[in-house]
Amino acid sequence: MMKRSLLALTFALCTLGSASADKVITGAFDQGPGGAPGQFNPLTNTAGFTWLNKYFSTLVLYDPAFKKISGDLASSWTVADGGKKYTFVLRDGVKWHDGQAFTSADVKFSLNLANNPDSGSGFAAKFGNITNIQTPNARTVVLTLSKPNAALLDAMTNFMILPEHALNKIAPKDLRNSAWWRTNPVGTGPFKWNKLVPDQYVELVANPTYFRGKPKVDRLVNRYFKEQAAAVVALKSGDIEFSYLTLDDTKTFNGNAVKILDGSSQVANYLGFNNASPLLKDVRIRQAILLAVDRATIVKQLYGGGAEVANCPVTNSKYVPKGINAYAYNQDQARQLLKAAGWDSGKSVEVITYYSDQLSKDVLVTLQQMLAGVGFKIAPRFVDVPTYNQITGGSDFTMVYAGIGNGPDPDTLYPSMHSDFIPPNGTNRMKVSIPALNKLFEQGQETTLASTRTKAYQDMCALVNKQLPWDVLWSAKRFGGVSTKLSNFIWTPAPAGGRYDDKAYLWDTK
């Protein structure tokens, strides 16, 4: 049966490249941390944006260095009324992949959908204070906010605009898992959806009417592998032209066929706790867990120095205050804290993770050994992203090993830590509910004064460091490998793989 499946896949992929005139780029674009999305829905996905932004577009995007925001579907915008009014002017002449005109009505529809709780969108934390959306003409959108939102443009860089004409007949509650996302989604991006072979690949074709110009290649293929190691083998053999890599993977490439790319992941890895569960309510237990882990040794030996110990979920250093608790490795103190908290050393706690690469497996084994040394037993459980989201969307779990991406603006943590967004109302999967933390996130979002925002997020960082709703561990580099046959290829190791202008329409291959 497996032989037949492999032959079928080989035939399918040979068919993909059978048109001699076609230029095709094939990559494992979703093979990195977090893996492939279970659904290609940009309203609900927490990963996979490297791929989604090939056929959907946003109003604005970061540059690859995450220093500047520029227009995508929006040609310009202005901010007025103390940060409570945003006016976006849209590009002229943009078409959806089915030939329909893109207009301001699509933007209004998408924002209303994002704020509808029935859609399952994770954007309500970002756009909930939009009180009015006006579309005075087909190319203008005016947003009125109840209070300033200094992070609105940052949020817009990850918010993909959807076609009203294609989706307005689907009820928001049905849209979350609609077959539309996997059959014939319509976007405005440089490539158009062609077909999906489940668990094998997705194929896109060039959009000849793309508003920045027709792409250089004819087709873009996203291959899926059960293990990241298989993607690395495919990259080495030339079967694909891009894959995420681990640090150990990078050491196995010789010659000039593959170029190694790297950069900050902008992701903080952490041990997360179900804050609604009574099992780990005592902060002394969470302190003990952090003290029991020799993070410096893990960073040095497992990450090869390609990571930094972190004590705050914010990866932008200007928001990390000085003097917060470093929780330096101290197993004796960890044992004392567990004893004082009355921890039962015979109990085993399941730790769920969506990471499947060998490095992460090694990390979990090491964490298991270190925690066992102080009488805290864990049992790692490896699952895919949809399963992880399903489990943590409920209440029947205790711990996770995960990563939180944030990037330039700490407001991206808002929906993961504000109590208003505990599932089913959002993506605060660890059920964090700290009123003082809520207020700091709200203050950081509502003020337009840079110094006040910085102070709010530094205070947020200090509070998380003290109360430990998560045990933040480290922030690592992320690596990718790209075939030197490609030209104009831009890749930045961004959280969830998106939010920046990778100019995919200019990607080319020899």
C-alpha–C-alpha distance, residues 359 and 477, integer Å: 13
Instruction: Name the CATH topology of 264-477.
Output: Dipeptide-binding Protein; domain 3 (3.10.105)
* Structure confidence by residue, pLDDT tens digits, 397-426: 999 999 998 878 899 899 899 999 899 888
The pLDDT of residue 448 is 84
Q: Would the pTM of this model clear 0.95, i.e. be above it?
A: no
Asked if the 23-241+485-509 domain carries CATH number 2.40.50.140, the reply is: no
C-alpha–C-alpha distance, residues 96 and 101, integer Å: 6
The pLDDT of residue 499 is 83
Q: Is 219 left (phi over 0), alpha (psi -120 to 50) or beta?
A: beta
The pLDDT of residue 278 is 95
* Structure confidence by residue, pLDDT tens digits, 140-173: 999 999 999 999 999 999 999 999 999 999 999 9
* Structure confidence by residue, pLDDT tens digits, 186-222: 999 999 999 999 889 999 999 999 999 999 999 999 9
DSSP 109-130: HHHHHHT-GGGT-S-HHHHTTE
When pLDDT is averaged across residues 65-83 and rounded to a whole number, the result is 95
* Structure confidence by residue, pLDDT tens digits, 241-283: 999 998 889 999 988 899 999 988 889 999 999 999 999 999 9
Q: Where are the domains of the chain?
A: 23-241+485-509, 264-477
Question: Can you tell me which residue has the tokens 């102080």?
Answer: 374
**Continuous segment of H or E residues that includes residue 349:** strand 348-353
CB 392 within 8 A of CB 401: no
* Structure confidence by residue, pLDDT tens digits, 417-475: 999 989 988 889 999 999 999 999 999 999 989 999 999 999 999 999 999 999 999 99
Q: How confident is the model at residue 226 (pLDDT cuts 50, 70, 90)?
A: confident
Residue 15 has pLDDT above 60, yes or no: no
Nearest one of 103, 102, 75 to 87, comparing CA atoms? 75
